[in-house]
Amino acid sequence: MTSVWMAALVAALLLPFYRVIKGPTVFDRMVGVGVVGTKTVMLLCIIGHTYDRLDMFLDIAIAYGMLNFLGAIIVSKYLEPGGDPR
């Protein structure tokens, strides 16, 4: 069962790389990177469940999710013209 989940998730993880490479604007690329990061968190949780080391893999997943969120926020603030006056 877990191998089916992992295979489907790896397929879903490789699909957005098309958008990262081809995307016409830089925002499309950032959306693709964010989707890949979310799927990586899911894959890490399922890998930890498969190999019975959930405690170790969950710490990695939490750190990866935080880095993913911070990266998207920082890049969108960098790309935003004018910025928020508040």
Partner 1 sequence: MSTWVGGGLVTLGVIFSVIGSIGVIRFPDFYSRAHAASKPDTLGLMLTVLGLAVIEGASLPSAKLLLIAAFVALGNPTATHALSRAALRSGLEPWRRDEEEA
- What are the residues binding partner 1 (CB under 8 A)? 1, 5, 8-9, 11-13, 15-16, 18-19, 25, 27-28, 30-32, 34-35, 38-39, 41-42, 45-46, 48-49, 54-55, 58-59, 61-62, 65-66, 68-69, 72-73, 75-77, 79-82
The alpha-carbon radius of gyration of the chain (Å, integer) is: 16
Least distance from C-beta 61 to partner 1, angstroms? Answer: 6
Q: Provide the minimum distance between the beta carbon of 2 and partner 1 in the complex, in angstroms, as a whole number.
A: 9
Class of residue 16 by CB neighbours under 10 A (exposed 0-12, middle 13-18, buried 19+): buried
For the purposes of burial, counting CB atoms within 10 Å of the CB of 44, is it exposed (0-12), middle (13-18) or buried (19 or more)? buried
